[in-house]
Chains A and B, each alone.
Chain A
Amino acid sequence: MEMQMIATENLSRKFDGMTAVDGLSFHVDRGEVFGLLGPNGAGKTTTIRMICCLIGKTSGKATVGGFSIDDPAGTMSIRKLIGLVPDNVGLYEFYSAYKNLMYFGRLYETPESRITSNIESLMKKLDLWDRKDDPVSTYSKGMKQKVAIARALVHDPEILVMDEPTANLDPEAARTIRDTILDLKKEGRTILLNTHNLDEAQRLCDTIGILKTKLLAVGKPQNLERSIFGRNTVIQLEYAGDEVVQAVRGTNPRKYTVEGNSITLELDDPEKETPRIVSAIVAAGGKIKSVNETTGSLEDVYLKLVRGE
């Protein structure tokens, strides 16, 4: 069994009687990229802050790297395990990127020699090295976000927690940040990613949790799509005549619809049923142009769950 780096059980948080996070239960395995997807005000940042021990919980449990967020001694250990990229970069603008990273490396109690080597490798990897001594105030938004990522990694943490890392960035800068996250994923980092960008979640995350105060669904992106919308098989024919439709009906699919020369089937077990249906169509004289499987997109899943449709 893979080690759970982050685990929450019925984690809840209320502010002045208003519930921000309600009964959240999920886990993130070592090396997994877990995306918390949800609209603004869904409780994503509150969840991250509880996990990073920045704010307390109202009820429930959470552990990070085996340490409980309730245990004051464990809190310091949790902070060392995590590198946080907050929704606002929060850099010291008067400092250079290098000095920002040096300062945080020291605060994270990293040995001096390791800080300098980490800074150099991170800044080179993120294409910041040439401007390492320039004040951060002169950087573009994308560069600042890269510095924030480098800051989160300067102590070489086991877990990276990122809150909307590409929000407010132009497409090119957002792409660079996403590529950086993909590289970190390849390195085997455990990443908890808050986002409301569906495309980003789909591209980067192994597992997605859809949050709207409560966790509405959790699973692999593909599984989520299938579990919400099922799996449809679309058979495109040269001509969908009565004999062919009759043959399809004879195979007893859960549901089927005919639209022009295309037959869409809802099947319980497509791997077993599709070959049988294809054989029946061919036996009935049907000429098949293509057979494809379709399902709802992550966007469909998200909107269906968030809107409560």
Chain B
Amino acid sequence: MRFWKSWLIARKEFDFIRIKKSALGISFGLPIGLGILLPLITYLEITRKKVPIEAVTPLMGSFAFYFIIIAALIPVYTSVSSIVVEKIERSLEPLLATPTSDREILVGKYIATFVLTIVGTYIGAAIFVTLMDTLTRSSIGYFYFPNTAFDIALFAAAPAASIFSTAFGVLSSSRVTTIQSAQSLSVVPLIPLIIIYLTGELDLINLNDTSILAYVAIGLAVAAAIVFQVSTAVFDREEILTRWK
């Protein structure tokens, strides 16, 4: 495994994404939008609806989970298109003809998707923290963010969610023959995250609990490692070249 080759492939992916407005919109527009929208909603809840602070702070804490979901959502589009676009534009055959291993190619794709997702998510999170603290400090009396739960969500669970989703996207896009079916299949990693979030909303678990978030992060990391191994093991260049018409 030569990392420089993966990095070379990742750089090409960055160049492609840079000109692809839809990929940029999803990677940056979505987390930035969320980073602006959530503090504004919270501010309106406090100032207009006069919701008590005790009821608002648990909600603010659970917002951190949105960034885990975002980190899993962005790769659904970007990781799938990175393989499928190469298939459609027939650029995969010359790429596969080079002395580059499947793992080097896939890791290059993972790096590009991961970096893009994490940069987008962190920009959104930075905006979220700044705006939220600015708008709520006078009501709460202190800066609510950052806190341990948020740090675990952002620096442990979100990267793991991103890798898990990326690996799943690559896995599905290398096994199916259309971008639509690959994207449909790639939303699967979102399902457990949405279930956890809804469980939190139903007060069955506390999403502000650092140990819950730590378990989520560990679970996602284990799932990411397994799916990553599976996705590289089942990446079948022959299947891709011969089944795609």
Residue ranges of A at the interface with B (Cβ–Cβ < 8 Å): 15, 49, 52, 54-56, 76-77, 79-80, 82, 84, 86, 88-95, 99, 103-104, 106-109, 148, 151
Q: Smallest CB–CB gap between A167 and chain B, Å?
A: 13
Residues of B within 8 A of A15 (CB): 242
A54-B237, A90-B89, A92-B91 as given contacts; A107 in contact with B15, CB under 8 Å = no
Q: Which residue of B lies closest to A84 (CB)?
A: B97
Interface string of B89-117 (1 = CB under 8 A from A): 11111111111110000000000000000
Q: Smallest CB–CB gap between A95 and chain B, Å?
A: 7
Residues of B within 8 A of A56 (CB): 238
Complex Cα distance, B5 from A79, in Å, reads 15
Residue from the list A76, A93, A148 in contact with B99, Cβ < 8 A = A76
Residue from the list B16, B93, B97 in contact with A82, Cβ < 8 A = B97
A79, B94: Cβ atoms under 8 Å? no
Interface string of B65-91 (1 = CB under 8 A from A): 000000000000000000000000111
Interface string of B1-40 (1 = CB under 8 A from A): 0000100100010011001000000000000000000000
4 further A-B pairs in the complex, CB-CB below 8 A; given A55-B241, A79-B99: A54-B97, A89-B90, A93-B89, A107-B99
Complex Cα distance, B109 from A35, in Å, reads 37
Q: Smallest CB–CB gap between B84 and chain A, Å?
A: 14
Residues of B within 8 A of A84 (CB): 93-94, 97
Complex Cα distance, B94 from A49, in Å, reads 11
Q: Which residue of B lies closest to A89 (CB)?
A: B90
Complex Cα distance, B242 from A106, in Å, reads 26
Q: Smallest CB–CB gap between B88 and chain A, Å?
A: 10
24 A-B pairs whose Cβ atoms sit less than 8 Å apart in the complex: A52-B97, A54-B96, A54-B237, A79-B97, A80-B99, A82-B97, A84-B93, A86-B90, A90-B90, A90-B94, A91-B91, A92-B12, A92-B16, A93-B89, A94-B15, A95-B12, A103-B8, A103-B12, A106-B8, A107-B8, A107-B95, A107-B98, A107-B99, A109-B99
Residues of A within 8 A of B5 (CB): 107
Residue ranges of B at the interface with A (Cβ–Cβ < 8 Å): 5, 8, 12, 15-16, 19, 89-101, 237-238, 241-242
A-B interface pairs (CB < 8 A), number: 67
B93, A107: Cβ atoms under 8 Å? no
Q: Which residue of B lies closest to A163 (CB)?
A: B93
Q: Smallest CB–CB gap between A78 and chain B, Å?
A: 9
A54, B238: Cβ atoms under 8 Å? yes
B93, A79: Cβ atoms under 8 Å? no
Complex Cα distance, B28 from A210, in Å, reads 55
Complex Cα distance, B97 from A148, in Å, reads 13
Residues of A within 8 A of B91 (CB): 90-92
Q: Which 4 A-B pairs have the closest CB atoms?
A: A88-B90, A90-B90, A107-B98, A79-B99
Residues of A within 8 A of B90 (CB): 86, 88-90
Residues of B within 8 A of A49 (CB): 241
Residue from the list A54, A76, A92, A109 in contact with B93, Cβ < 8 A = A54
Residues of A within 8 A of B98 (CB): 79, 104, 107-108
B94, A104: Cβ atoms under 8 Å? yes
Complex Cα distance, B92 from A90, in Å, reads 7
B99, A54: Cβ atoms under 8 Å? no
A54-B238, A76-B99, A108-B99 as given contacts; A151 in contact with B94, CB under 8 Å = yes
Q: Which residue of B lies closest to A106 (CB)?
A: B8
Complex Cα distance, B98 from A80, in Å, reads 7
The listed residue with most A CB atoms (<10 A of its CB), out of B15, B93, B94, B99, is: B94
B99, A55: Cβ atoms under 8 Å? no
Residue from the list B16, B94, B241 in contact with A94, Cβ < 8 A = B16
Residues of B within 8 A of A79 (CB): 97-99
Q: Which residue of A lies closest to B92 (CB)?
A: A90
B93, A86: Cβ atoms under 8 Å? yes
Residues of B within 8 A of A92 (CB): 12, 16, 89, 91
Residues of A within 8 A of B96 (CB): 54
Complex Cα distance, B93 from A84, in Å, reads 9
